[in-house]
């Protein structure tokens, strides 16, 4: 490559800017932002009405539900500096009153598939790729903060107030609006009942009467955004407090749910819940300190819009800059050769 070409490229890039590398964090998919009509388009579920227009910014979402293996890696990394185990239940080391249980190991709840002994957490053999369960909303938020710190990001959650800083660049639970938008995966005309269409069978997802247990994540087809098991396997914690009447007052722009509440939103149904719970619009809730055999989660990450890709006329400017610089270099080089 000639010197002129290199200089031209550098200059061209400086003039118009280039798209920032938008490589997804490991195991995540970029969900392109946009508007959709959130709510129940089919069945008249009172708490999923009215259908209302919502805009969500682009964000990243875990492709899979967080597995036992991933959650176990978090527990082993966080123990004993960040977490303790008391009566088989995991808490923050700073939680002197044991007010915010994170996770039940199998000695506290036989439904758990993670064991703790001798200072080490291990997954029940064969359950490594199953979604983690018996994890509370707090335990999901705490893992989000841990992952943020592991990658040098600013944690989103205050682990005392449990407030989420949406301006931080760390991991968090998806909002309820983000979750539904991601589950629908761009199918807005028509709006389907499920991520794939209007009817469900045991070949689409893991729900009541199909398997009778969790299955390894990714055992069914992904939705159109490439996300697996949004419907079924385990319910997924969302960041929002639950309020039955929230859709009456929801803002248009990136709704974040009510400011306070008693229950957090869970979405997507589970291996032991009917196909009704798999519906994209179906809203369910649970108290934040209660994990259960039906409850897991996946993480989200906010995404800043990169500078726009150069337009056609901007590409023209780059090409002209290149041409001028290359020609200039050729003339300069030839003159020098002649003189030499």
Report the interface residues with Ca ion, using CB under 5 A. 104, 109, 111, 134, 229, 233, 268, 293
By beta-carbon proximity to Ca ion, the closer residue of 187 and 321 is 187
Q: By C-beta, is 208 or 229 nearer to Ca ion?
A: 229
The structure tokens listed for 246 are 């929230």
Smallest separation (angstroms) from Ca ion to the CB of 24: 20
In angstroms, give the least distance from the CB of 108 to Ca ion: 7
Cβ-based nearer residue to Ca ion, 148 or 293: 293
The H-or-E segment that residue 286 falls in is: strand 283-286
Cβ count within 10 A of residue 291: 28
In the complex, least distance from residue 205 CB atom to Ca ion, rounded to whole angstroms: 8
List of residues 6+ apart from 187 with CB closer than 8 A: 195, 224
What's the burial of 11, exposed, middle or buried (CB within 10 Å: 0-12/13-18/19+)? middle
Smaller CB separation from Ca ion, 139 or 268: 268
Do the Cβ atoms of 281 and 269 come closer than 8 Å? no
Select from 105, 94, 176 the least CA-distant residue to 142: 94
The whole-angstrom separation of Cα 280 and Cα 67 is: 22
Q: Which is nearer to Ca ion, 233 or 239 (CB)?
A: 233
Which residues share a beta bridge with 38? 52
- Closest distance of CB 277 from Ca ion, Å: 10
* Distance of closest approach, residue 4 Cβ to Ca ion, in angstroms: 56
């Amino acid at each position: 490559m000639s010197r002129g070409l290199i200089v031209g490229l550098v200059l061209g890039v400086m003039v118009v800017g280039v798209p920032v590398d938008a490589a997804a964090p490991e195991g995540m998919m970029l969900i392109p932002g946009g508007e959709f009509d959130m709510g129940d388009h089919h069945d008249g579920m009172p708490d999923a009405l009215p259908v209302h227009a919502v805009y969500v910014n682009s964000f990243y979402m875990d492709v899979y539900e967080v597995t036992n293996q991933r959650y176990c890696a978090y527990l082993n990394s966080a123990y004993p500096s960040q977490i303790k185990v008391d009566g088989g239940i995991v808490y923050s080391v700073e939680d002197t009153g044991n007010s915010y249980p994170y996770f039940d190991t199998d000695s506290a709840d036989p439904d758990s598939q993670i064991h703790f002994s001798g200072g080490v957490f291990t997954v029940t053999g064969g359950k490594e790729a199953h979604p983690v369960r018996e994890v509370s909303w707090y335990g999901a938020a705490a893992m989000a903060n841990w992952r943020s710190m592991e990658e040098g990001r600013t944690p989103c959650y205050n682990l005392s107030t449990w407030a989420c800083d949406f301006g931080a660049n760390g991991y968090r639970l998806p909002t309820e609006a983000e979750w539904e938008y991601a589950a629908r995966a761009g199918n807005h005309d028509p709006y389907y009942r499920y991520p794939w269409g209007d009817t469900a069978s045991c070949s689409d997802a893991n729900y009541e009467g199909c398997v009778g247990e969790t299955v390894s994540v990714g055992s069914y087809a992904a939705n159109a955004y490439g996300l697996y098991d949004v419907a079924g396997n385990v319910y997924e914690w969302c960041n929002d407090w639950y309020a039955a009447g929230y859709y009456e007052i929801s803002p248009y722009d990136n709704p974040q749910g009510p400011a306070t509440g008693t229950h957090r939103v869970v979405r997507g149904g589970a291996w032991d819940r009917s196909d009704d719970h798999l519906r994209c619009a179906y809203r369910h809730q649970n108290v934040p300190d209660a994990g259960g055999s039906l409850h897991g989660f996946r993480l989200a990450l906010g995404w800043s819009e990169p500078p726009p890709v150069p337009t056609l006329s901007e590409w023209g400017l780059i090409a002209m800059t290149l041409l001028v610089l290359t020609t200039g270099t050729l003339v300069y080089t030839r003159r020098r050769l002649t003189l030499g």
